[in-house]
Structure 1
Amino acid sequence: MFLLKSGSNRDCDGVTRRDVLRVGSLSAFGLGLPEFLRARAMAGSPGKDVSCILLWLQGGISHIDSFDPKPEAPAEIRGEFGVIDTNVAGIQVCDPLPRLAQHQDKFSILRSLNPRNGSHGVADAYMMTGHPFNQSVTFPAFGAVVAKEKGDRNSMPPYVQLGVSIDQRFGGGVAGFLGDQYNPFVLPGDASSPSFTVRDVTLPGGVNPERFQRRMKVLETVDTWQAQFESSSSALEAADTFYEKAYNLVTAPQAKKAFDIGREDPRIRDRYGRHSLGQGCLLARRLIESGVRFVTVTDGGWDTHQNNFSSLRDRLLPRLDSALSGLLQDLSDRGMLESTLVLTLSDFGRTPKVNPSAGRDHWSTAGIALLAGGGIRTGVAVGRTNALGEQPTEAPYYTEDLAATLYRSLGIPLDTTHITPDGRPIQINYDGRPIRELV
């Protein structure tokens, strides 16, 4: 198994994050789907058939400057943005979010989230698993649990990650103790780029279908010999089944169609926004439509210690505004919103008081989350923080509760238990409660 570097990013810790594709030996150009697909045959599909799109805003979105504004607070708290009414009476958001304000009836805001964490890396792991960081075990991300419990659908990988803005130092976004076969199928490119391709479903330059099939035959010979030499276990004897699935993904028309974002109506692409987050959300919709069960769309740059307001006004919030509103409208128009949970999460909130660099720093006791679709009650703002946005004062909820709400929406029982490699049983959610205002 090799590792292919798939990109890097930095946050205020100064740590370069390299998301890698774990690839097997399907071909000379490195396709990891056999390892990714192996051991899926036993995965069932219990409960409701609801898919999920997770928008991960890496770095920590300012709750006060987005969905929990404090217009009556002192200037050093309320910041530079005004507020606007949404299409739901009584709910206001910050004024750089005009499109989402007109789609408030399609999503709900959790304003009383207490992340109980203010550290990058730890946040990626905690928020994406619902388990506090534990140095002795790497817990599986939501998408990995879905992949294990529900398996693949329509020959598509069940868990896909778009972009590389996840800090993986503590296992953010990965399968953890479930094993590499449940890791996400990572697409590191920018879907808004004219040159965007998916290396694992598009044959690279110089490799035509005939040459690819020849490589498949050579690989089959090598793998047959290796299997006979190393072991006669049922896992190795069944390997051909998974190689066949991987080969089918490369050649299947539905896979090529799903990943070919250029097939979309240009007006739809414009609605999402011609930027990486917008086109990533559009690609996520196409993947869900084609059979993928869980898609994480990553977006970096939200760690606004300096120039918080110009960064949010000029780039970050307009991208989120068009991407998420476009996704919600598109899913609704296609009748997919009830069967697709859309969850927007970030590391934590940001300090109520603006710092001398016109920025906001990490804040561990208040943040926001957005939820839509999948049977979630919409048009609701759950809970509140105090007048300065420091901590929840009404209906406090925690990361474990978000996890419980997600699993309930997806039809996965909270007492589902997995066994670690050393034999320990671990329940997927043992300390959370579904958010009663939303379920």
Structure 2
Amino acid sequence: MNIFGKSSDRFCDGHSRRQFLKAGSLGLGGLALPDLLRAEAMSAAGGSNKSVIMIYLPGGPPHQDMYDLKMDAPSEIRGEFRPISTSVAGIQICEHLPQIAKLADKLAFIRTMVGAKDRHESFQCMTGRLNERTPPGGWPEFGSVVSKLQGTKDATLSSYVNLSPKMRHAPYNFGKPSFLGFGHTPFMPSGDIMSDMVLQGITSDRLASRKKLLESVDRFRRDIDKSGVMEGLDSFQSRAFEILTSSRMLEALDVSKEPTSVKERYGNGTDKE
């Protein structure tokens, strides 16, 4: 099924996408609003603490050199490396990925995915949509969508952290909540690496005083702003103060608490790492 296709396009059985969607929506009419709200509440109550790490490689290694070596393909197509066995029988990957090979039973290798357009589709990868017929403000990234729908179970920790560096190629610069509002902008730390996150020369009382002053100024601006922008800023500012005055974020980013083996493999936070 191609959800990006035209509504008039038909499948092999002769049914159009519009007919398929109509048939799928018939059951929805039998649910009353209380049932829908009850189902929504139950699904929210059953949530758990889960984290997703999304790694986007602009111009990264080709799949035939990593997870799909295509050893039976002609030499001009297949990669130059040899396959190795993994922890799952029948699945082989590149010889230079021995650590990933050990974890194959915990991974799902997707070897059939293609972009909707013949290009580096970073926009589709980060939003799940094509970069066309966009609404005002554009489509939000999936991290901002999760922030809007799921939120966070700890107000002192951001629900969406974006570590993408600023790039000269504009399409690769992520971090847009679009119409979801500024309150769902990702936390994007930048600047030089510091040995700690201590507020130099600023006590908690002084920070609280600054917050009160900022709130009084924003209250005046809110009276004349009817666009909803201030509400988003309120949420964003509130989260920022909670992060600055809590030790939870500091503990989460404290590299010194990691095992030596982990720091040796992934780096200890130096400029070169």
Question: Shorter-chain TM-score: which interval?
Answer: 0.5 to 0.7
What is the SS of the residue equivalent to 1:84?
Answer: strand
2:243 matched to which residue of 1?
249
Instruction: Please state if 1:263 is matched with 2:257.
Output: yes
* Residue identity matched to 1:53: I
* Residue identity matched to 1:181: G
Contact 1:125–1:171 (Cα < 8 Å) also in 2: no
Counterparts in 2 of 1:172 and 1:220: CA distance versus 1, 3 Å: closer
Counterparts in 2 of 1:134 and 1:275: CA distance versus 1, 3 Å: farther
Q: Distance in 2 between matches of 1:126 and 1:187?
A: 24
Please list every run of 5 or more consecutive structure 2 residues that lacks an aligned counterpart in the other structure: 1-40
Instruction: Please state if 1:218 is matched with 2:213.
Output: yes
TM-score (norm 1): 0.44
What is the SS of the residue equivalent to 2:113?
Answer: strand
Counterparts in 2 of 1:180 and 1:171: CA distance versus 1, 3 Å: farther
- Provide the aligned C-alpha RMSD in A: 3.6
Contact 1:163–1:189 (Cα < 8 Å) also in 2: no
Q: What are the equivalent positions in structure 2 for 1:138-177 lying under 5 Å apart? A: 138-155=138-155, 156-164=157-165, 168-169=170-171, 172-177=174-179
Contact 1:163–1:187 (Cα < 8 Å) also in 2: no
Q: Distance in 2 between matches of 1:241 and 1:181?
A: 5
Please list every run of 5 or more consecutive structure 1 residues that lacks an aligned counterpart in the other structure: 1-43, 280-318, 320-439
Counterparts in 2 of 1:275 and 1:106: CA distance versus 1, 3 Å: farther
Q: Distance in 2 between matches of 1:240 and 1:61?
A: 42
Q: Distance in 2 between matches of 1:116 and 1:206?
A: 52
Q: Distance in 2 between matches of 1:235 and 1:173?
A: 17
Counterparts in 2 of 1:73 and 1:249: CA distance versus 1, 3 Å: same
* Residue identity matched to 1:61: P
Counterparts in 2 of 1:241 and 1:92: CA distance versus 1, 3 Å: closer
Higher helix share: 2
Post-superposition CA distance 1:149-205 (Å, at most 9, x none): 112321122111123267653885522232332221112468xxxx3468xxx3554
Contact 1:68–1:111 (Cα < 8 Å) also in 2: yes
Q: Measure how far apart 1:236 and its partner are.
A: 6.2
Q: Distance in 2 between matches of 1:251 and 1:197?
A: 18
2:128 matched to which residue of 1?
130
* Residue identity matched to 1:267: S
1:293 matched to which residue of 2?
none
Post-superposition CA distance 1:94-152 (Å, at most 9, x none): 111111111111101011112233334xx111012221121533222211111111123
* Residue identity matched to 1:183: T
Instruction: Please state if 1:75 is matched with 2:75.
Output: yes
The number of aligned residues is 224
2:105 matched to which residue of 1?
105
Q: Distance in 1 between matches of 2:245 and 2:147?
A: 22
Larger Rg: 2
Counterparts in 2 of 1:204 and 1:58: CA distance versus 1, 3 Å: farther
2:188 matched to which residue of 1?
186
What is the SS of the residue equivalent to 1:93?
Answer: strand
Q: Distance in 2 between matches of 1:214 and 1:54?
A: 38
Contact 1:139–1:171 (Cα < 8 Å) also in 2: no
Instruction: Please state if 1:274 is matched with 2:267.
Output: yes
Q: Distance in 1 between matches of 2:108 and 2:235?
A: 43
* Residue identity matched to 2:176: V
Q: Percent identity?
A: 33
1:85 matched to which residue of 2?
85
Q: Distance in 2 between matches of 1:239 and 1:77?
A: 51
Counterparts in 2 of 1:269 and 1:184: CA distance versus 1, 3 Å: same
* Residue identity matched to 2:183: Q
Q: Distance in 1 between matches of 2:232 and 2:79?
A: 60
Q: Distance in 2 between matches of 1:164 and 1:175?
A: 17
Q: What are the equivalent positions in structure 2 for 1:29-44 lying under 5 Å apart? A: none
TM-score (norm 2): 0.67
Contact 1:129–1:140 (Cα < 8 Å) also in 2: yes
Q: Which has the higher contact order (CA 8 A, sep 6+)?
A: 1
Counterparts in 2 of 1:189 and 1:270: CA distance versus 1, 3 Å: farther
* Residue identity matched to 2:86: T
* Residue identity matched to 1:75: S
1:377 matched to which residue of 2?
none
Contact 1:58–1:165 (Cα < 8 Å) also in 2: no
Higher strand share: 1
1:3 matched to which residue of 2?
none
1:362 matched to which residue of 2?
none
Post-superposition CA distance 1:335-364 (Å, at most 9, x none): xxxxxxxxxxxxxxxxxxxxxxxxxxxxxx
Counterparts in 2 of 1:142 and 1:178: CA distance versus 1, 3 Å: same
